[in-house]
Structure 1
Amino acid sequence: MAYQALYRVYRPRTFEDMIGQEVITQTLKNAIETHQTGHAYLFSGPRGTGKTSAAKIFAREVNGIAPETDDSQISDIVEFDAASNSRVEDMRDILSNVDYAPIEAEFKVYIIDEVHMLSNSAFNALLKTLEEPPANVKFILATTEPQKVPVTILSRTQRFEFKRIDGQAIAAHLADVLKQQHIDFDQDALRIIANVAEGGMRDALSILDQVIAFGTDTVTVDNALQVTGSTTTTQLMQYLTAVTNSQTPEALKLLHDILVAGKDAQRFVSDIIGLLRDIMLANIAPELIKSTAPLNDLRTLAQQLNSQQIQAMMGELDDIQKQLLQTMQSDVYLELLTVKLGMMIQGDQSHTESTQHATRNTSSFASPESLNDPTVTTQPVSSDTQPDTTTVIAEPTQNEGVSAQENLEATHDTVKPIAQSSQYDESEAVSHNNSLARTGQLAVFAILQAAKRDTLSRSKSTWATLISTFNVAHQALLTIASPVAASQEGLVVAFDYPALLDQALKDVVLQEKLIAALREQNLPTALVLISKDDWQQERAEYVKQLKAGTTQTISLSDVPYVSQQEVLTTATDATITATDAVIAPKVVTEAQKLFGNDIVTVVD
């Protein structure tokens, strides 16, 4: 006898056999027992949840036909596939026999599957019969997309919404099937299959069929992972832990190992979303956790990730899922995702630390006179803790009446060298001071004054090719950056997130490689790196000054490269902003700077 798939062998034959749709089955059973059945029903819901099976069971039960009777032997139950017979002519052929009495049964039952596929003309032909059906005819319409069914049809049916079947119920049913088949299995393997099935019993049985064939009649966790393309819980936890700790290189290596093992990119993203959900519920509702990861490990990550971070990460994962459907380079998009998630967590942590640092530093200013002292002090470092990043207190941005040259001089004068702590890493300072990039308003203005549209177009068109030769970490970082302005001399590159900009400004190796790649493509090599938010503000300011005729000629060669102090100032913007807000308004500090403390008097 030919082999039959499990979902066909174990298809429900009675309402009691159906899993996870107790409300619907009980309602239909009561209607049949009390002889209060309607003339038209609409069964809607996700695939594999029992819509067509329930329709066939109802058709047999309402006619008193035994469950073991073969469907093909019942002439009064007519199945119609609207997906392949969507024309009005096909519908008319079916409805032409409606007026004839049933041959053997009490009712003639028409089951129209995928009813949403019917054409408008076919729906109109069906509508008249639904309005005034013969007494001995019943219609059951099944669809996965009820929103595509005309409201005139919906209003003439009793609607039943089939829900996704719970994962535990699916796993329990799979266990019963395997026991009847006398096949050994691991319970965790069934949980993996149930999660992948996404609430569909038919999908779960089909996957189980594949796992049995792959594992020589044994259902194990490894076999289930191989067949479904899922990633082991251990690998997922390691990956998410690395991302949470902002260990992006380690996370990229783990991702590479997962992809090399042949795991599906879409399934990987879905697994990460599921794991984040379990982390969110670890301390709130542990009984709802679906993952096989230890509860203590989930709670450890839950202590590091707050609900806002989890929500933001899920948003990024959802965006990547949509993009993966439209690309063949899934590995690049997953690398991009990894860098984004790591920088997102790092940015949130930096913001929190900066806010706390600003709160601590507010009390360290004793008098208004200290605000005008350009000397920068170093915060004391406790001997038993890691030294904190030294704080730069910079003078505010110049007023509109100050010339561009004075602004340029202020860039050198107002940001003073930091008094170094005895524990400061000097090699890091050398790396920052040797930066090959510029940033800020002056650099952007210098590019915009000599902007070349054709140069920018060439830069954009070759950007993907240009960065393709970089290593994984650099390529992932530059993928979420793009050229936004170009002159014959320089190129403005905007980054999606300030945290990524900070990393690029500190990475001299990345800058050297990028300059070399630009030179090979005959593109401008003077780099100006900026965040996208700042780029939009600076461009708007430049256009405003251009219209007002107040722009000043700025040479890019006069704009200094990014120094260590400027990088640290960028990283502690939150600290400076919070301190300035508490200390004194901008106009006061500017007036004190120009005329001296003895002349300027602040009157509240």
Structure 2
Amino acid sequence: MAYQALYRVWRSQRFDDVVGQKAITQTLKNAIDQKQISHAYLFTGPRGTGKTSAAKIFAKAINCPHQVNGEPCNECEMCRSITAGTQEDVIEIDAASNNGVEEIRFIRDRANYAPTQAEYKIYIIDEVHMLSTGAFNALLKTLEEPRKNVVFILATTEPHKIPATIISRTQRFDFKRINTQDIVSHLKTVLDSSEISYEEEALQVIARAAEGGMRDALSITDQAIAFSDGTVTMQDALEVTGSLSFDMMDRLMQACLDKEVAQALSMLRELLASGKEARRLLENLLVYCRDLLMYQQAPQLVADKSTQLTDGFRALAQQTAAPKIYHWIAVLNDTQNEVRFTNNPTIYLEVAMVKLANDPEQAALSSGGAATDTSQEVQQLQIAVQKLQAEIQRLQENRPAGAAEPATVTKKTKTTSSFRLPKEKVFQVLKGATKKDLANIRNIWDDLLMSLSVTQRAMLHASEAKAASQTGVVIAFDYEILCQRASNDQDFQLMIHNQISKMVKDYAPQAVFITKESWPTLRREFLAGGQVAAETELEVEAGDVAEEIADPAEDEVVTQAQALFGALTSIEEN
């Protein structure tokens, strides 16, 4: 017989075999036992957590004539045919390759006919989020008017892509990531049954690399068995997964703690040269730092991880202050986000090593440096405002009775600013501005924010895209201090330029920064400059164009007329 992968051989055949989803399997068993079968179910969750397996078990259980307490017998002809995939009343469909309207209409038409052999006709639609809009509409009609003895089971890893009208007509079950220890326990059962020797430390490495997916864990185990010489060792698991050994992490983080930047960078290059994968390396270091913090605060929670409690780990936990670990975690988390959008992760990893080996207080190297500067500036401004308020209070208390209010209080004073508006650049963007380009920017705005570092994201969060052309985009900030900071930060401008070009095909505009307060004035000047044809492409509200290009002299005449008529009215009333 041809070789079968472990995840196929060990696919769950009973609800009790599904690992890590006790609440869901117990609910389904009770529903079957009590004959409370719904017409539609939605199974959501990460890959490899048992969604499709649970769907097939459910199909067997409700059709099995010998089911006990909601569990199928797996012995009768009905159970065997469903397991083999030959039962014509249980139809499994891959929505990734059958996502059109015609396929769903065909299903809808077949659902009108009663099952031929089974008690229930079951449709299992995997990756249902891949269906087109028309296909979802066709499926909705079937779910609105369900036929008797027809059950739909929809499975997906991305429930946010499914219309709310579909979700509201199903019973939803959210499958969670499987606990690491549960994965290790199941892998032990698999290897013991297969009579394959192993090191328990190897299973820990494999379970962590699987990231909560049992199918991934079994696939990695398959690779480790093929790579090993009869015994799955920890070194085999490290090589197959590209993970770091505990000794490597001990030495790397000790170098960072000792501020040995050159040594940390040298170790990083050795790891990358040996084939370690950047994303896995960052994930390992993040978990390691998390465990350091937990060991300091609650040692008993890490006590069961005996493989990680090395002498180097204990020494680091004693020597490293909690704020330093917080700094490490923040740097590694920011680097994870940045690596997602680059083809050259080595640069970001090297920068991360430099940050890890330096104090978080060093603003130039710390990812939170700009935020620290901003908080200091805010504190200084608050102190200055408090001093001004105290001075005004003192002047008001010392003013003679009956004296008029000081002119500085009643008049609006015009404050001076060192920030110079890039008027020419703004007008250049407005000349070619289109609603389509602005819509493109606004559609990716949330993704653009998430692609930036925490500090950059906080800065851009207080802004809004006002106009966009093929060559530029005008971004207006709520506060002038942020606008000025963005205008002086070349790295920030380059990051926005690069991220937009990645997210929108054939579009790489240059960002122009202004304040929201200045936007109406700039728009008015542009429209009044004889380029009113551009108004159809700008975001101008109805009726605003005439107001924007109106002659200022006319405004003054209207104001004087209102003042005159107002005075006459008051005389007549008297």
Normalising by structure 2, report the TM-score: 0.59
Quote the residue 1:212 is aligned against: 225
Q: Encode CA deviations 1:584-604: one digit per residue, 9 max, x unaligned.
A: xxxxxxxxxxxxxxxxxxxxx
**1:33-54 CA distances to partner (integer Å, 9 max, x unpaired)?**
1101211111001100000000
Q: Shift of the alpha carbon at 1:317?
A: 1.3
Displacement of 1:291: 7.8
Supply the distance in 1 between the matched residues of 2:306 and 2:169 (Cα, whole angstroms): 43
**After the TM superposition, which of the residue ranges 290-299 and 1-10 deviates more from structure 2?**
290-299
* Secondary structure at 1:83 match in 2: coil
Residue 93 of structure 1: aligned partner:
106
Partner of 1:521: none
Q: Which deviates more, 89-98 or 288-297?
A: 288-297
Residues 291, 122 of structure 1: alpha-carbon distance in 2 compared, 3 angstrom cutoff: farther
Which residue of 174, 178, 183 corresponds with 1:161? 174
Q: Do 2:31 and 2:37's aligned partners in 1 also have CA atoms closer than 8 Å? A: yes
Q: Which residue is equivalent to 2:551?
A: none
Q: How does 1:124-523 map to 2 (within 5 A)?
A: 124-289=137-302, 292-294=307-309, 297-345=312-360, 347=362
SS of the aligned residue for 2:122 comes to strand
- Whether 2:132 is the aligned partner of 1:122: answer no
What is the deviation of 1:66? 4.2
1:274 shift after superposition: 0.6
> Over aligned residues, Cα RMSD in angstroms?
2.7
Q: What is the CA–CA distance in structure 2 between the aligned matches of 1:260 and 1:539, rounded to whole Å?
A: 37
- How far off its partner does 1:305 sit? 3.6
d(CA) in 1 for partners of 2:63, 2:230: 40
What SS class does the counterpart of residue 159 from structure 1 fall into?
strand
Whole-angstrom distance in 2 between the partners of 1:124 and 1:304? 61
The structural deviation recorded for 1:139 is 0.7
- The C-alpha deviation readout for 1:98-137, integer Å capped at 9, x for no partner, is 0111111100011011111111111111111111111110
Equivalent position SS for 1:96? helix
Size of the alignment, in residue pairs?
A: 360
Alpha-carbon distance in 1 for matches of 2:351, 2:252:
14
Contact 2:247/2:312 (8 A) holds in 1: no
Partner of 1:79: 92
Give secondary structure in 1 for the equivalent of 2:212. Answer: coil
Cα offsets for 1:3-22 (capped at 9, x unmatched): 00000000000111111001
How far residue 284 of structure 1 moved from its aligned partner, in angstroms, is 2.7
How much has 1:89 moved relative to structure 2?
0.9
Is residue 278–residue 298 contact of structure 1 (8 Å, CA) maintained in 2? no
**Shift, 1:335, TM fit:** 1.3
SS of 2:125's partner is: strand
Structure 1 CA distance for aligned equivalents of residues 120 and 297 of structure 2: 52
1:73 Cα shift?
2.2
Contact 1:246 1:346 in 2 (8 A): no
Aligned counterpart, 2:63: 63
Residue 300 of structure 1: how far off its partner (Å): 3.4
Alignment match, 1:29: 29
Amino acid at match of 1:333: Y
Call closer, same or farther: CA 1:538–1:136 in 2, change over 3 Å: closer
Separation in 1, partners of 2:161, 2:326: 32
- What letter corresponds to residue 12 of structure 1 in structure 2? S
**2:251/2:312 contact within 8 Å kept:** no
Cα distance, 1:345 vs structure 2: 4.6
Aligned residues of 1:274 and 1:291 also touching (Cα < 8 A): no
Rounded Cα–Cα distance in structure 2 between residues aligned with 1:55 and 1:537 = 52
Q: Deviations over 1:269-291 (max 9, x none)?
A: 11000101101110333344358
Q: Distance in 2 between matches of 1:11 and 1:239?
A: 39
Amino acid at match of 2:284: D
Structure 1 residues 28 and 144, CA gap change in structure 2 (3 angstroms): same
- Which sections of structure 1, spanning at least 5 residues, go unmatched? 352-444, 446-531, 541-604
Q: Which residue in 1 is equivalent to 2:41?
A: 41
Q: CA deviation at 1:347?
A: 3.8
Q: Once the two structures are aligned, what percentage of the paired residues are identical?
A: 50
Q: What amino acid does structure 2 have at the position aligned with 1:207?
A: I
| Cα distance per residue 1:296-349 (max 9 Å; x no partner) | 64343234444443333222212222332333333232111100111235749x
1:255 aligns to what SS in structure 2? helix
Listed one character per residue, the Cα deviations across residues 521-554 of structure 1 (whole Å, up to 9, x for unaligned) are xxxxxxxxxxx99x959989xxxxxxxxxxxxxx
Report the Cα distance in structure 1 between the residues aligned to 2:93 and 2:106, rounded to whole angstroms: 11
